[in-house]
Amino acid sequence: MAKIQSIRGMPDVLPDASAMRLWVEDRLKAVLARYGYAHVRMPLVEATALFARGVGDGTDIVEKEMYTFEDRSGESLTLRPEGTAGCVRLCEEHGLLYNQTQRLWYQGPMFRYERPQKGRYRQFEQLGVECFGFPGPAIDAELLGLCADFWRELGVQEALTLELNTLGSPESRAAYRDALLAYLRPLADQLDEDSQRRLERNPLRILDSKVPETQALLADAPDLAACLDEASRAHFDALRRYLDALAIPYVVNPRIVRGLDYYTHTVFEWTTTALGAQGTVCGGGRYDGLVERLGGRPTPGIGFAMGLERLTLLVEALGAAPAEAAPLDVYVLALDEAHSAEALALGQRLRQALPALTVQVHCSGGKAKARFKKADASGARYALILGETEVAEGTVAVKPLREGDAAQTTWTLPALIDHWREGLPSPSGTDVATRR
């Protein structure tokens, strides 16, 4: 019988990779906590109409990439391809936007039917941040400062560049769309296939084309900046002053438009050259009309999202993560099966008395020699051994596994706990009693 394998583009995450991911996530969450952002969770499945209206039915996501199906009642549902529309729906449904501002973040799997490649999958883990009720550019700058702190926390700040643009107000964007269409229509037969398809429905996406021939045609395209109204210019100029005050370097890239219809004013990407051609690690922008578009009251919004797979790849490529996961402190073993219950109880007492201690208990049987091999292979610093003598006397033997010829010692459990509570030196130089 043939083995069942994972779905293409929906990879498993094995222990070592998962440990690295958790290391990255923990640091991102620490930064979010410092900024006072609140966590929300949305369902994996939403009504298809949410993304058709929110993301835009002329986008690649809606046209080609969504996993859409009918449930048993005939309702069209979609596995979420992005988080912003669902976050807006959550806020509106639960009254979080009425005369309030919100700073929110979420994390979880997203789904898009794309061509799988390294760091870009059909199921991918995304962390997103959304802010509502802030009309001015100060929140734009705060979000970019938050990103900059992410990169510093992970040790990758030198490998990332902030690329910045403005799409202006809806009116400015509409004026630019008309100017771009007038320029591109006579060149339609020279555009690549995707750009031809986008020409009438979403012409700004053509600016983001990766086809060299199309990019060459865009060399003389109208400048979006020429279509900006005064309010749009003022917003962008103020944002740049804030970034200068925060000492966040950036480059203005007029080709950045982002792939979703809801963006207005500020759009941005954090890019790197350390991961090959697919260089965007994080992207987002302002979407002042999205809440209204989804049935709510006019509410300014801005946010960003990052794929955690790509960010983790960057951390690994730069060697910014710790060399190894947190070590196992203790491996508890009975010398024979007769005392396995006592070994399990010992492990549990240690975990309860010393929560910072990492403890594994031998659960796979075998002779004493095999049990010691398992203890050594575990990477633990100490083996705690229970034999007939130890059980009878109420003691435990402690054998150092990483200290060469260090002698085995015998302790009562209360004395050992007190000793380790005062401090079991860890490889990092901190004490187990204080390690978090």
- Give the three-class secondary structure for 142: helix
For 145-169, write each residue's pLDDT tens digit. Answer: 999 999 999 999 999 999 999 988 8
Residues of the chain with CATH 3.30.930.10: 15-169+229-317
pLDDT band at 431 (very low <50, low <70, confident <90, very high): very low
Q: What is the pLDDT at residue 435?
A: 34
pLDDT of residue 57: 63
pLDDT at 171: 85
| Per-residue confidence (pLDDT) for residue 433, from 0 to 100 | 36
pLDDT, position 304: 97
Q: Tell me the range of 83-87, 174-178, 210-214, 251-255 where mean pLDDT is highest.
A: 83-87
**What is the full DSSP assignment across 304-358?**
EEEEHHHHHHHHHHTT-S-SSPPPP-EEEEESSGGGHHHHHHHHHHHHHH-TT--
Per-chain mean pLDDT for the chain: 89
User: Domain 330-423 adopts which CATH fold?
Assistant: Rossmann fold (3.40.50)
Instruction: State the pLDDT at residue 50.
Output: 92
Give yes or no for residue 132 having a pLDDT over 50: yes
For the stretch 262-318, pLDDT in tens is 788 999 999 999 987 668 999 999 999 899 989 999 999 999 999 999 999 999 999
Average pLDDT for residues 186-204, to the nearest whole number? 81
Other beta carbons less than 10 A from residue 288's beta carbon: 18
CA 185 to chain centre: 39
The per-residue b/e assignment along 274-284, b for 16 or more CB within 10 angstroms, e otherwise, is ebeeebbbbbb
Q: What is the mean pLDDT of residues 183-202?
A: 82
Residue 287's SS3 state is coil
Closest CA to 258 of 120, 55, 34, 5: 55
Q: What is the pLDDT of residue 97?
A: 94
CA dist., res. 263 & res. 251, Å (int): 19
Q: For the stretch 5-21, what's the b/e string if a residue is b when 16 or more beta carbons lie within 10 angstroms of its beta carbon?
A: eeeebeeeeeeeeeebb
8 Å CB contact between 288 and 166: no
Question: What is the average per-residue pLDDT within 420-427?
Answer: 66
- Token pair, residue 89, equals 């729906």
Domain with CATH 3.40.50.800 in the chain: 330-423
Highest mean pLDDT among 199-213, 214-228, 238-252: 238-252
Question: Which region among 53-62, 129-138, 375-384 has the lowest average model confidence (pLDDT)?
Answer: 53-62
Architecture of domain 15-169+229-317: 2-Layer Sandwich (3.30)
Percent of the chain at pLDDT > 70 equals: 94
- Quick check: 59 pLDDT over 80? no
The pLDDT score that the predictor gives to residue 278 is: 64
Decide: helix, strand or coil at residue 161. Answer: strand
